[in-house]
Amino acid sequence: MFRLMFSGVAVAALAFPAIAATTPTCDEVCLNRLADQFVQAMAVNDGSRLPLGTSFRYTENGQRLEPGDGMWGTLSAYAGQDTALSPAAAKLPYRLTLFDPAKGEVVRLVETDENSTRGLTVLRLKLDAEGKLGEAEVLPVREEFAGNRGGTVTLLQPLLLVTMDGEKLEAADPLLSRREATSSSPAELQAAADAYLDAMQGGKGGAAPIAEDCLRRDNGVRTTGNSASDPLDPAKPAFKPFALSCQAQLDSGFYSNVARIRDRRYVVDAARGLVLVLTQMDLPGTWLTFKAPKVGTVAYPGPRGTDPALDGQFANRFSANMIAPVSMNAALLFKVVEGKIARIDAFYRGAPLGIKSGW
């Protein structure tokens, strides 16, 4: 045990029991403990008690960092944290864990608060051959606001169509954590996720194993079957991509501006029918419009300065902009039930075009 100051009060920090280096295998209980240890260590900015391997590698937003850098100095609260240590944790409902014991890999998706800036953080951890922590990949998807709510909005990247808003992020759908009695193989689960991403890339659409009741959420916002959503282009008021089904959205051409979904890295939890894909999505900004079936030409939102009907969307500088070059650091979570995609939770934030994954 050791003591630290938290909000001016001395509290006992949690001890982190080491994972034995002589145990190369790690079951779900062991992997869950590792994920708990890691996020606890980040919260107190002390990685010294973690079972780090000699070749341990840590990235945050694709950048190579060391424990103590980045989120290690800003994490104030996280979902599942003892509220006696941080009352803010009570307002953070999203928490989900994926396990792949065969590969010694675990993913924790956890809602976070960084000095009052909320978001969803994806942690991918992998053990090395000696049973120690060899890899840690962290993707923080933070609120992007101007004005009183602060956040991390910047002039260096365009604001995405669906930005993270912690107040809209609800708990993970219970279906995601349900074990499947007849689960697909890891290869089949990965193939289902790839089929969806391939159909999404370039707005090609086409065959993907999608359930009729499939639902998608982007950064916590429902983006399929949402009849209350707004039109993408005011000149085409009948076209509402977020009101479409998962399959119809893929076939609508909406994703035509996604040139590549590259550097895909997978964590598969076959017992729960889950696939987490970490990837970089390139949107070069060269597609100003696309053709939607039975609708015609639809303009992507973004400042043009030529058409008042379109330019009116951008009366303030912080409106969504889909016609500027950007890559998205993304994590897409797929739930597959009886071979078909039933749920998609997508989390992403903007980055410079062409950013590397760090892996």
**What does the alpha-carbon distance between residue 275 and residue 264 come to, in Å, rounded to a whole number?**
12
The number of residues making up the chain comes to 359
Please report, for residues 163, 219, 241, the alpha-carbon distance to residue 302 in angstroms, rounded to integers and kept in the order given: 15, 20, 16
Identical fold between 10-142 and 176-351: yes
**What does the alpha-carbon distance between residue 276 and residue 190 come to, in Å, rounded to a whole number?**
9
**What does the alpha-carbon distance between residue 172 and residue 9 come to, in Å, rounded to a whole number?**
32
Residues 125-149, buried b or exposed e (16+ Cβ, 10 A)?
A: bbbbeebbbbbbbbbbbbbbbeeee
CATH architecture of 10-142: Roll (3.10)
What integer pLDDT is reported at residue 149 of this predicted model? 62
What integer pLDDT is reported at residue 304 of this predicted model? 73
Question: Tens of pLDDT along 228-283?
Answer: 999 999 999 999 999 999 999 999 999 999 999 999 999 999 999 999 999 999 99
Domain range summary for the chain, segments of one domain joined by +: 10-142, 176-351
The 3-state secondary structure of 70-134 reads HHHHCEEEECCCCCCCCHHHHHCCCEEEEEEHHHCEEEEEEEEEECCEEEEEEEEEEECCCCCEE
| Band of pLDDT at residue 210, cut at 50, 70 and 90 | very high
| Band of pLDDT at residue 306, cut at 50, 70 and 90 | low
Mean of pLDDT over the chain: 89
- 11 closest CA partner among 53, 39, 40, 34: 40
Is 229 exposed, middle or buried (CB count within 10 Å of its CB: 0-12, 13-18, 19+)? middle
Q: Quick one: fold of 176-351?
A: Nuclear Transport Factor 2; Chain: A, (3.10.450)
Query: To which H or E segment does residue 199 belong?
Result: helix 186-200
**What does the alpha-carbon distance between residue 249 and residue 217 come to, in Å, rounded to a whole number?**
13
pLDDT higher than threshold 50 for residue 4 = no
Residues 289-317, buried b or exposed e (16+ Cβ, 10 A)?
A: ebebeeeeebbbbbeeeeeeebeebbeee
Q: Specify the pTM.
A: 0.89
**φ and ψ at residue 18, rounded to 5 degrees:** -75, 150
The proportion of the chain whose per-residue pLDDT surpasses 70, expressed as a percent, equals 86
| Band of pLDDT at residue 12, cut at 50, 70 and 90 | very low
**Torsion sign over Cα 21, 24, 25, 26:** positive
Structure-block tokens of residue 225: 């079957």
Question: Tens of pLDDT along 147-176?
Answer: 556 666 665 677 889 999 999 999 999 999
**What does the alpha-carbon distance between residue 232 and residue 256 come to, in Å, rounded to a whole number?**
14
- 344 closest CA partner among 221, 179, 163, 167: 221
pLDDT higher than threshold 90 for residue 17 = no
**Torsion sign over Cα 240, 241, 242, 243:** positive
